[in-house]
Amino acid sequence: MNKLISLPLVALAAACSQAAAAPPPAPKVDVPAAAGLQTAVFAGGCFWGMEGVFEHVKGVRSAVSGYAGGKAGDANYEQVSSEATGHAEAVKITYDPKQVSYGQLLRVFFAEHDPTELNRQGPDRGASYRSAIFPQNAAQRQAAAAYIAQLNAAHAFPHPIVTRIESGGFYPAEDFHQGFLRKHPDHPYIRMWDMPKLADLRRQFPNLWRA
């Protein structure tokens, strides 16, 4: 979907109301801290907002927008937007597990998008905006599956979680998309859909917030 679309204020109000009053519970299963930097890949709608959120999480060294779930040859914005590639807009997060755990990243991920929406987030529609996790190893896959089961069992959301656990490589998006929220904080799409996520992150996770 064209992110330059102009959206009515009623849609903004609906988006803001999606933020939970409290964050989802901490995961009961986590990935043990390992030596060196680790990688996580999440897809939760437009990668501008997801990247911007994780850039503000303590322990995250970098967040890169890109495409996951499809093939390298069609990992570009024009083809992915056709909804025929199997790719999801995703973010590759490099983090220090001694500062932030994979479980804590999962918790932020589920708090800052709607995991009950099938193939859509906010104004964006299509499978490329699906909620998905791309584990980088068996421990991440186990932790992700356990957390989804935990959240569903606790009825943490008003509807069942549709987040998929998938496999596949990650391919960085075009330079234009990298750091978009940070570079264009006054862009209408960013102001309407993504800045509320940053405010929510700071409110719900003060111990993880990094200015």
* Chain Cα centroid distance, residue 56: 13
Per-residue three-class SS string for 3-39: CCCCCCHHHHHHHHHCCCCCCCCCCCCCCCCCCCCEE
Residues 6+ apart with CB under 8 A from 19: 196, 200
Burial label, 58 (beta-carbon count in 10 A; 0-12, 13-18, 19+)? middle
Token readout for 100 is: 């932030």
Token readout for 89 is: 């807009």
User: What does the angle CA 145 – CA 89 – CA 166 come to, to the nearest 5 degrees?
Assistant: 30
- Say which of 15, 43, 46, 64 is annotated catalytic: 46
CA distance 172 to 159: 32
Q: Is the dihedral of CA 103, 106, 111, 116 positive or negative?
A: negative
Looking at residue 11, its amino acid is A
Determine whether 16 is an active site residue.
no
Q: Catalogue the active-site residues.
A: 46
